[in-house]
Structure 1
Amino acid sequence: MSKKNRAILCVDDDPMILMSLKLQLTQSFDGQFVIETAESGEEALELIEFLVDRDIDTLLIISDWLMPKMKGDELLVHVKNKFPKVAQIMLSGQAENEAVENAFKNSNLKYFISKPWNKTDLLKKVNEALQN
Structure 2
Amino acid sequence: MKMQTIKCVVVGDGAVGKTCLLISYTTNKFPSEYVPTVFDNYAVTVMIGGEPYTLGLFDTAGQEDYDRLRPLSYPQTDVFLVCFSVVAPASFENVREKVYKSIELRALFDLSDLISKLNWVPEIAHHCSKTPFLLVGTQ
The bucket for the TM-score relative to the shorter chain is 0.3 to 0.5
Bigger Rg, structure 1 or 2: 2
With normalisation by structure 1, the TM-score equals 0.46
* Greater fraction of residues in helix: 1
Q: Per residue, is there more strand in 1 or in 2? A: 2
Please report the TM-score for the alignment, with normalisation by the length of structure 2: 0.45
**Which of structures 1 and 2 has the larger relative contact order (alpha carbons within 8 angstroms, sep 6+)?**
2
